[in-house]
Amino acid sequence: MSVSQRFFLFAKSFRPQLCSRSLKTSSSVFGTKMTVRDALNSAMREELERDKDVIILGEEVAEYDGAYKVTKGLWKMFGDSRVMDTPITEMGFAGIAVGAAMAGLKPICEFMTFNFAMQAIDQIINSAAKSSYMSAGLVSKTVLCFLLNCHV
């Protein structure tokens, strides 16, 4: 059986409606029901309150509250120095996040969608993931979170 024949059989049997029914849009933790968006917002708010070194950067994360409202209210609560809008240049703000992490900050870098993160793949793979090895261990405690929005 050729590769194209196997793919056709897979594609023919794949039923996305079964997948979408199995995906939860909300979760319950300790009796509190919330959406994934609200859970992420709550977690980021807690970290921003707990640690002054945590910052959030990305496209429209501040004044607009994020493209999918994940960062809603955080800019008003923590201001420009902690929640920062960036230009539409994924490679650029991913690089800023990597540099900030190397300098001791704890950045949360939000990409509007997962496919836009591929524009910054060099920063993610070569700068963020390999910095400890490329610096012979001198840069070993980089804490960096990439937030990727994926919609099914």
Q: Each residue of 70-126: pLDDT tens digit?
A: 999 999 999 999 999 999 999 999 999 999 988 889 999 998 888 888 899 998 888
Residues with Cβ within 8 Å of 37's Cβ and at least 6 positions away in sequence, in order, are 68, 69, 70
User: What pLDDT is recorded for position 28?
Assistant: 54
| DSSP secondary structure string for all residues of 58-106 | ETTSSTT--TTSTTTTHHHHH-TTTEEE--S-HHHHHHHHHHHHHTT-E
* pLDDT at res. 27: 55
Which amino acid, one-letter code, is at 78?
F
In this structure, the number of other CB atoms found within 10 A of the CB of residue 42 comes to 13
At residue 74, the pLDDT reads: 96
Domain ranges of the chain: 35-148
Q: What is the SS3 assignment for 5? A: helix
pTM of the model: 0.73
Q: Please tell us whether the domain made up of 35-148 is placed in CATH 3.40.50.300.
A: no
pLDDT tens, residue by residue, 8-64: 444 444 454 444 444 455 555 566 788 888 999 999 999 999 999 999 999 999 999
Q: Which pLDDT value is given to residue 34?
A: 86
pLDDT of residue 113: 83
Q: Which strand (E) or helix (H) includes residue 18?
A: helix 16-22
Distance CA(34)–CA(121), nearest Å, equals 31
Asked if 111 and 90 touch (Cβ cutoff 8 Å), the reply is yes
Q: What's CA 99's distance to the chain center, in Å?
A: 17
Query: In this predicted structure, what is the pLDDT of residue 150?
Result: 65
Between 68 and 142, name the one with better pLDDT.
Answer: 68
Specify the 3-state DSSP secondary structure of 149: coil
